[in-house]
Amino acid sequence: MKVACERFETLGVDFQKRLSDGRMNSLAFIKDPDGYWVEIIQPTPL
């Protein structure tokens, strides 16, 4: 997840919430080109 967020950062993707923002450090939100929020999470194995 951290690597994915670093890649989005490198690509210049706008973040609504970074992993380091707030107490919930297990998820992040980026914005798509239309401004919609996209949740970035790490799925738990089954």
How far apart are alpha carbons 19 and 38 in whole angstroms?
Answer: 13
Catalytic choice (4, 39, 41, 42): 39
The pLDDT value given to residue 29: 98
Per run of 10 residues, the mean pLDDT along the chain (length 46 residues) is 94 95 92 96 83
The pLDDT value given to residue 37: 98
What end-to-end distance do the CA atoms of the chain give, in Å?
Answer: 18
The pLDDT value given to residue 44: 81
- CA distances to 13, 24, 38, 44, 45 from 8, in Å: 5, 19, 12, 21, 23
The pLDDT value given to residue 24: 87
The pLDDT value given to residue 25: 86
How far apart are alpha carbons 41 and 27 in whole angstroms?
Answer: 5
6 included as an active-site residue: no
The pLDDT value given to residue 43: 83
Please state the pTM of the whole predicted model: 0.81
